[in-house]
Structure 1
Amino acid sequence: MADLEDRDKTDPIFKLGFEESPVANHIGVLTDANKGLRRKIFDLYTIFEISRHLNSMLNVESLLDATLFTCIGQMGVAGAAIVVQDPSDNKLSHFHFKGLTLPKDVSIQFSRVGRLVRHLQRIARPQLIGELKDVVQPDTEDYSKLKAVEAELIVPLISKGNLLGILFLPRKLSGQPYQENDLEFVSILLNQLSVAIVNAHLYQSEKEALLELRSAQKRLIESERLAALGRLAASIAHEVNNPLGIIKNYLTIISKSPGTSNDIKKNVTIVHEEVDRIARIVRQLLDFYRPTLEQQVELNVTEVVDSTLDLTSQKLQSMGIEISRIYETEDIKINGSPTKLKQVFLNLILNARDVMPRGGKLTVSACRRNGFAEIEFIDSGTGISPDELPRIFEPFYTTKKESGTGLGLAVCHGIISSHNGTISASNNASGGAIFTIKLPLLFKGKND
C-alpha cells in the first residue's frame, strides 16, 4: 500500500486526513471549555449548597468549621486555617484551623495596623504568597505566622469594606498551582461567610440583650415582691413593738416587787429573754424594710472582707474550717457603709459555718469585673436545694428549721440593694453553695 504522502492530493481520503488536525484542535478547545463550564457549574452548586448551610448556622465556631472543611475538600489541600475578628476586642485574634500541625508556641493573631492587614483591606482579593514578598518581609512576625500556617494562598474576609478575617490555604496536594477559578471560588465562599458571621454576631447580641432584659424583669419583679413583703413585715413590727414595750415594763415591775420568790424571778427572767428575742426579730424586720441610713464613704472592699474574716477566723479554724482568700488585687474601691457591708459578710460567713459543722473549706474571692466589685463566698457544705434557691432571700423563709428566723439573708439583700448592688445564690458544681455580691466600682479601669 502506498504511503499517504504518495497519494493523489485530490483523493478524498487524503483530503480528510489533511483537514482532520484543525477539527481535532477545535474539538479539544470545546472539550476544555466544556470541562471549565462543568467545573464552574459544580463550584456554583457547591457555593449554593454551602451558602444555604452557612445561613442556617448561628454559631461562629460551626461556621468556621464548615468553611474550612469546604475549602479542604474543594481545593484539594491537607488543611486550612482562618483568623477572624473577636467581637469583644475588635482584633483579628479568633483563630481556627483544621488539618494543620502548628508549632506549640505560635500565636496566630494580627494587628489591624500591620502591613499585611492594611494591604489585604486595601486590595480586597485573594493573594498568592509570592505576591506578598514586598508586603511581608522574612524577618517580620507576619511572615513567621504565614509560615506557621503553611500559607500559599491568603484570602481576605471582607464585609462592607471592613476586614473581618483572613483565610490561609497551603499548597495543593497535587502540587498544581491555584487557578483563577480557585480564587473565584474562595472569594465567593468568603463573601457568604462574612454575611453569615455578621448575622451570627447580630443574633448573639440580640440573644444576650433578650437574656439581660429577662434578667432585669426578673430582678424587678423580685424586688417588688420583697418590697411588698417588707412593707407587710414593717407594719406588723410596728404593731408588735407597742405591746412588747408594755410587757417588758410589767416584767420589770414583777421582778422588783417585794416578796417575789426566786422561782418567779427565774421564770420572769426567761420570759424577759424571750421578749428580747422577739424585739430583736422586730428590729430585723424594720431593718429589712427600712435599713438604717448611714453615710457611704470610699472604702476598699477587700479590707472590709479581711476585717470580717479576722473576727471569725479563730472560731472557724477551731471547727476545722479552712479559710482561703483569693483577691485579684488588694485595691478594689467602692462607695459604701463599712458597718452594713460587714453585717452582710458576717451573715454569709456564719451561714457557711452552720452548713459545715464537721469542718470544710470557705473560699472568699474578690475581683473587678465589668464595672463591679465581685465578691464570692464559696463553702463546701451540702449546697442549696433547687426548690429553695428562688426563695432564699424572702423574709421569714429559712432552711434552718429550728433556729432560723428567715430574716438574715433578707436583710443582706436589702443592704446590698441600698448600695445599688446585687446578691445572688447558686450551687457549686463540686459541692456547696456560692453567694455572689456585685457592687459598683468607684473607679472603673479600661478592663473593668
Structure 2
Amino acid sequence: MNFPNRTPGDELADLKVRYARLDLLYQVGNVIHSTLDPQEALQLIIDQAVRVMRASSGSVVLINPTTNFLEIHASMGLPPNAAALKLRVGEGITGWVAIKGKTVRSGDVTQDPRYIQLRQNVRSELAVPMLVNGEIRGVINVDSDRNNAFSEGDQELLEALALSASRVIQNTWLYEQLRLKARLFEMLASVGQTINSALNLDDALHVITREACGMMQAKMCSLLMLQESGEWLELRASHGAGEVYMKSPKLSMNESLLGTVVRRRKPIQVENVQTSSRYQRAEIARQEGLVALLSVPLIFANECIGTLSIYTGRPYKFSNEEVRILSALAELSAIAIEKARLYERIVDVEEQLRQNEKLSALGLLAAEVAHEIRNPLTVMKMLYHSLDLKFPAGDPRNKDAEIIGQKMELLNKIVEQILDFARTTEPTFAEVHLNELIEELGLLVRHKLRNQNVQFIHHLDSDLPAVMADATHLEQAFLNLILNAAQAMPNGGKLTITTRAIEGGGKTLQVAVDFKDTGEGMTEEQRRRAFSSVLSTTKAKGTGLGLAIVGRVIETHHGELKLKSAPGRGTTISVILPLA
C-alpha cells in the first residue's frame, strides 16, 4: 500500500521504531524466560513492562478461579496496601478488560468513570488482557503520572509483551504443577511407610490424619469410620481439630454429606462448607474456621470402611491431582487400618494360645494329681474292706464306718471322672507337614518375638517327609518351646528352628526339629527335671509347666526329646519324631 504523503525518511524512522520494539521484546523475553518460578516470573514481567513503557507504576492482576476475584500477584511502584485490593471481574478498568478481553488505553483516567484509584497522581493507564489457551487469565496494567502517556505503538508493544508473558506463565504453571505432583508423590511414598509402621489401630489412625494434614497443607484432617451397624460414621482420629469439632456427634450414613462419600465410594469437595446447604455442621465449621472440604472414601477389599477428610482455612478448589493424591493416601491408609486390625486379632490369638497353654497345664496337673491320689485311695479301700468293721447294734460307729465307705467311693468316682476327662486329650493322628506348621506358628509369634527383640530364623528342609501326628498337640508343644526360648532371652537374642531328616540304612527313619536359642541356658538340675512331671518341677515358667506339656505330647507321639544346654550358652532342644 502506498502512502502519498510519506517520505523515505518517515519510513526509515518507522522501521527504527519497530526494530527498537522488537529488540525490547527480545530482551524482555530473555529476562522473563530466565526463571521457572511462577511468582518470580510475574514480577519480572511487570518490571520489564514498566521499564519498556516508561511508566510510573504497574501490576499483574490474575483471576482467582475459586473466588472469581481479580488479585494483584506482582506490582511495581504501587503502595504496599495495594496488594490487598480485590476487584470483581467487570469492576474498574482492569475488571472491564478482564470481562471484555479488550485493551483499554485511557489518556486521562480522571475522566473515565471505570477508574478506581490505587495511587495518587495517576493520569494515564494502559491495560491489556492476558490470554492462556484462549481464556482470559489476567490483566497487565501500566500507569503514568502524565496525560496521554501511552501511544498506539505502546499499546501494540504491551499487547505483544502480554502474549509472550502469557506463554511464560503457562509454562511456569505447568512446571509448578509437575513440581507439586512430584513433591506430593515423594511425600506419598514417605507417608505410606510411616503409616504402615504403626501396628496399634489408634496409633495408625492418628498417624494417618497427621500425615495427611501435613502432606496436603490443610488446616485440619479427620478420619471417620463406619460402625458395625452400618448406620453411623464415628470420629476416630483427627489432627488440627478444636474442642468443638472433637465433641461433635456421630453422622448418619443416610443423611450426611460424608455418608454420601461412603455410599457412592467417590470423593466429594465443597469450596465453602460454612455456606453450603449440603454440609450439616456449618456452625461448627464457622467456630473452627474450616472452609473448603475434600473427603475421600477409605476402601479395602471392595468394602468402604470410612472417610478421610481435609479442611482448609480459606475458600479453595482442589485440583484433580490433589484429589488423586488424597485418594491414593486413603488407599494406603485403608490397608494400614486393616493391618492394624489384623495385628490386634493376632495379639488376641496369641493371648488365647497362652490361656490354652495354662489350661493344658492345669489339665495335666489335675490328671497327675488324680493319678497320684488313686493309688493310695485304692490301698485305703482294700484295707477298709479287709477290716470288716462290725459293731454292736445301736453303736454309732456303724454309721461312721458306713459314711467312710461312701466317701471313699465318692473320691474314687471323682478320680475316675478326672482321668476319663484327661483321656479325651489323647492325640488323633493324621498326616502333618512340619514345615507348614512351623511357618504358621512363625506368623503367630513374630510380633511377640519382635517386641522382645528376638530374631526369628528358620532353616526348613524342603524335602522333609510328612509325619503321622496330631497337628494341634504338636503346635501346642512347639509353641511352648518357642515361648520358653523367648523367656530365656529377656534382653533379646536369636531363635533358630531347623528341620532335618535322620537317615539310617539309606532311607529316612525319623525327622527332627531343633529349637536353638541364645538365652540364659539351664543348670544341670534344670536339665535333669526339664521334662519331668508337673508335680516335680521347680519353676512355673521357662522350664516348668510348658516343658512338662512338651514332654507329655512327644511321649504320646512315640517321639524323643534331646536337650543340650549350659548356663550362659543358650539351649538347644531337639524333637525327634518317627515316620508313619
TM-score when normalising by structure 2: 0.38
TM-score when normalising by structure 1: 0.48
* Structure with greater strand share of residues: 2
Larger Rg: 2
Q: Which has the higher contact order (CA 8 A, sep 6+)?
A: 1
